[in-house]
Chain A
Amino acid sequence: MRNFLQVLVDAVALGSLLALVALAIGLVFGVMRLINFAQGDYITVGAYALVVPTASLTPALFLGALPVPLMVAGVLFVVVLLALATERVAFRPLRDSDPATLLISSFAVSYFLQHLVMLIHTGRPKSVGIGQALTTPIDIMGLRVPGIQVVTMAVTAVLLIALVLFLKRTSMGIQMRAAAENFQMARLLGVPANRVIAMAFVISGVLGGAVSLLLIVQTGTLDIRMGLMPVIFAFFATVIGGMGSLVGAALGGFLVGGASVLLQSFLPDGLRPFRDAFVFGLVIVILLVRPKGLIVIGAARERV
């Protein structure tokens, strides 16, 4: 039982992280039908901003050397700026193109950023020690939970609540939901397209920066592909959650993260290396049963 609870905490912690990435992807998809694979590279760049660019495998800290509040603000700032820059340069000029074109543009941005980081920091994985105090387990009712998992869940909870309040209670948030549902109609009513889309990228940058920090404390490793797996898992999360539904994206994140951890723990030893195959198999099964994802928006039939 105790072991199972331990696994459950792991599952929720990983699920939280993926939910954050999935929300970022879902939000941007909502307003401009772009599946932004560069989201993973936002995470990577945010993490690399913590260290000074050198060839060393144990680089000196840059933003990471600042006091925690400044460090967090610094990383978020860098990632938000990056997200806005990519929107301006790579996505805005293509706004009226079809989703496939936008998708390809996001791959281009992703590779560009990956190689830019490689150029500046070299391609070899580096180790970085930040927030190591958080990795020591703390005792919660007999469970030994690493502090970072508690922090991850708490940060996710705070960001989710903040996002819900923003979307429900502020004028900008309501405009964003309107634009996500029907962009043309929102524009007809005067919702400024540029501002809403930029806002979606700002939020995706904040979420990306938060994930950078949580991930780096957890793993202590910088790698130019560190954002790749989270973004792929999160993409599947948004798909099974129902493309365009933010609740679905968050739910999908928890589901994919949970499934991944549970499979890791309970699969027979010989099958564990193929864990991801089982996760993606599960995604396929869910999509076969519910092709439009778990939460379908605009499903209510029209009455006359």
Chain B
Amino acid sequence: MLEISDLTVRYGKLTALDQVGIRVGQGEAVFVVGPNGAGKSTLLKTVAGLLRPARGRIDFDGQPVGGGAPERLCRQGLALVPEGRHIFRTLSVEENLLVGMMIRRDRAAVKDDLERILGLFPILRDRFRGVAGNLSGGEQQQLAIARALLQRPRLLMIDEPSLGLAPLVIDQVYASLRALNADGLTLLVVEQSTARVLDLATRVYVLRSGKVVLADTAEALATGVAMEEAYFGYAGQANG
């Protein structure tokens, strides 16, 4: 579904991503993990069209999409929930969702979707007319995900869904992500912490200093040793 190859992204002279290759198949939940500054957010931003690649290819459903404008890419079915959620704080919950629905032209189906998604995140129904800035962090994360879902994406990208949330709230967020994935939604999730990866992931990429240092299925990584080594660099070096 999403095929990234040889992707290089630079901020000025700094290379943030160096010939990265990542593949996400239909219905998968692919995780990209790595320490701070590994280029995870850069990866998602580039796929969503916020950053221009210096080189490389991004294909979505067989179509090249690299360097496209974000307002066009989201119409092709790519949705990004960026790090820090970025809900519109001065708008009401309802208005936030309205902005999410704006690209839809199928009005009847949008209404059904809204009902379904409010069923998934009941707290948003309670706070429907309230200002989004008054929501708690977990509620904001739910709003950001709900808003992205209303676009009816075929691929949902989420940048650090657990960032700044209490463990119990993270459980809730992950429960809804699992439900969405079970419903057939393809996910590309970025996390700094590896703790939640095995809850949901079908496959995992470890990104460090802009390079993919490990790629494997979640089962193969279940022991966690290889992943930790890749994440932190060579354990032997660290100890010696």
Interface residues of A (CB under 8 A from B): 171, 174-175, 177-178, 181-182, 184-193, 297-298, 300, 302-304
Q: Are B99 and A188 in contact (CB under 8 A)?
A: no
**Which residues of the partner chain A approach B89 to less than 8 Å between Cβ atoms?**
181, 297-298, 300
The yes or no answer to B67 lying at the interface (CB within 8 A) is no
Q: Are A190 and B151 in contact (CB under 8 A)?
A: yes
Binds A, one of B4-12, B131-139, B179-187: B131-139
CB of A169 to closest CB in B, whole Å: 11
The yes or no answer to B166 lying at the interface (CB within 8 A) is yes
Q: Are A189 and B166 in contact (CB under 8 A)?
A: no
Please provide the 4 A-B residue pairs with the shortest distance between their CB atoms, ordered closest to farther.
A190-B103, A304-B137, A300-B133, A185-B86
Question: Which of A177, A181, A190 counts the most B-chain CB atoms under 10 A from its CB?
Answer: A190
Q: Are A174 and B98 in contact (CB under 8 A)?
A: yes
Chain B, residues 71-103, CB within 8 Å of chain A (1/0): the string is 100110001101000101111000110111011
CB of B93 to closest CB in A, whole Å: 12
Candidates B82, B102, B134; contact of A191 at CB < 8 Å: B102
Pairs A–B under 8 Å by Cβ, sample size 17: A174-B91, A178-B88, A178-B96, A182-B86, A184-B86, A188-B50, A188-B74, A188-B82, A189-B102, A189-B103, A189-B151, A190-B70, A190-B151, A300-B131, A302-B140, A303-B135, A304-B165
CA distance A182 to B96 in the complex (A): 12
Q: What would 13 more interface pairs be, CB under 8 Å, given A174-B95, A191-B99, A304-B164?
A: A175-B99, A177-B90, A177-B95, A178-B99, A182-B86, A187-B70, A188-B79, A190-B75, A298-B89, A298-B133, A300-B133, A304-B138, A304-B166
CA distance A175 to B166 in the complex (A): 31
CB of B75 to closest CB in A, whole Å: 6
Q: Are B50 and A297 in contact (CB under 8 A)?
A: no
**Which residues of the partner chain B approach A186 to less than 8 Å between Cβ atoms?**
88, 99
**Which residues of the partner chain B approach A185 to less than 8 Å between Cβ atoms?**
82, 86, 88
CB of B109 to closest CB in A, whole Å: 16
CA distance A125 to B125 in the complex (A): 60
**Which residues of the partner chain A approach B91 to less than 8 Å between Cβ atoms?**
174, 177-178, 181
CB of B82 to closest CB in A, whole Å: 7
Q: Are A174 and B133 in contact (CB under 8 A)?
A: no
Chain B, residue nearest A171 (CB): B102
Q: Are A187 and B133 in contact (CB under 8 A)?
A: no
CA distance A145 to B16 in the complex (A): 65
Q: Are B99 and A174 in contact (CB under 8 A)?
A: yes
Give B128-176 interface residues, CB cut-off 8 Å to A. Answer: 131, 133-138, 140, 147-148, 151, 164-166, 169
CA distance A172 to B88 in the complex (A): 15
**Which residues of the partner chain A approach B96 to less than 8 Å between Cβ atoms?**
178
CA distance A198 to B148 in the complex (A): 26
CA distance A283 to B89 in the complex (A): 28
**Which residues of the partner chain A approach B226 to less than 8 Å between Cβ atoms?**
none
**Which residues of the partner chain A approach B69 to less than 8 Å between Cβ atoms?**
187, 193
